[in-house]
Structure 1
Amino acid sequence: MTIVLIRAENQTKILNSLADIERHAGLKINGTPRIIDNNLADKYAKSIMKDRLRSKSKIAVLVSVKENATLSVLQIRKIHPPAHLVVISEEYR
């Protein structure tokens, strides 16, 4: 099980990204996505990437996927979702 952080400009892009994760990346979403504070999401993304962010998010969600972190990263890299997706592996918990 892996957690994916989705940061976006609006709710439509979040919903499209969630659909892309299931349809095109073939990942199985566990449970319901949880909305989190966008400033907290930006902080997490910045600490994981160890680089500055190009833009701040206006909305963010955390979603749990069934697959492991490696497979999740490989599958998400194949698609081009309209939002910024960050796969959070076990080492960042």
Structure 2
Amino acid sequence: MRNTIVLVRTDNFQKASVALADLVRYGGMEIRGDPRIIPPALSDWAFEKISGEKPRRKFRAHVIAQVDLPPAKAIGRLTDIHPPAHVLVIPPDSEVWEELIRLWNTFEKLRGFHPPKRRKGEGGKKEGEGEF
């Protein structure tokens, strides 16, 4: 299965980490592998290709991560939570996705990000939870 990619655009890498943690904690998403830092120009290109609009704001931190949900479900979860960043969902059948995956290993890993453990009542049950 091809993972959906999320593009996080925000003011600094700490906010990007918080936004990714929110996707896990409140959005019930699992981040696959290590989030990566991408160049602002590539982020702007991806934004424009996916949204059909030119970016209106300049951000300093641009991070991509692979998540375990199909695009429509990821978008639905994003509308329920409000991470402290601009988050764009990039579907696996897009040109942008192909390019980001092709370049994936050339991007620097986002250091210091550790996905939070999901607690009961946050984004679904883990295997074995709540079953007697």
TM-score band by shorter chain is over 0.9
Q: Which residue of 2 is the match for residue 38 of structure 1?
A: 40
Describe the SS at the equivalent of 1:12: helix
Q: Which residue of 1 is the match for residue 86 of structure 2?
A: 84
**Structure with higher strand content:** 1
Q: Which residue of 1 is the match for residue 28 of structure 2?
A: 26
User: Deviation at 1:57?
Assistant: 1.6
Considering only aligned residues, what root-mean-square deviation do their CA atoms show, in Å?
Answer: 1.0
**Residues 3-22 of structure 1: CA deviation (Å, up to 9, x unaligned):** 10111111121011011000
Q: Retained in 2: the 8 A contact 1:42–1:57?
A: no
User: Deviation at 1:70?
Assistant: 1.1
TM-score (norm 2): 0.67
Q: Retained in 1: the 8 A contact 2:47–2:54?
A: no
Task: Report the number of matched residues.
Answer: 93
Q: 1:73 aligns with which of 68, 72, 75?
A: 75
Q: Which residue of 2 is the match for residue 52 of structure 1?
A: 54
Unpaired stretches in structure 1, ≥5 consecutive residues: none
My pick for the range that moved more, 22-31 or 83-92, is 83-92
**Amino acid in the other structure paired with 1:25:** G
**Structure with higher helix content:** 1
TM-score (norm 1): 0.93
RCO (CA 8 Å, sep 6+): is it higher in 1 or 2?
A: 1
Identity %: 35
**Residues 33-86 of structure 1: CA deviation (Å, up to 9, x unaligned):** 011101210121022111122201211111000111111111111111111101
Higher-Rg member (1/2): 2
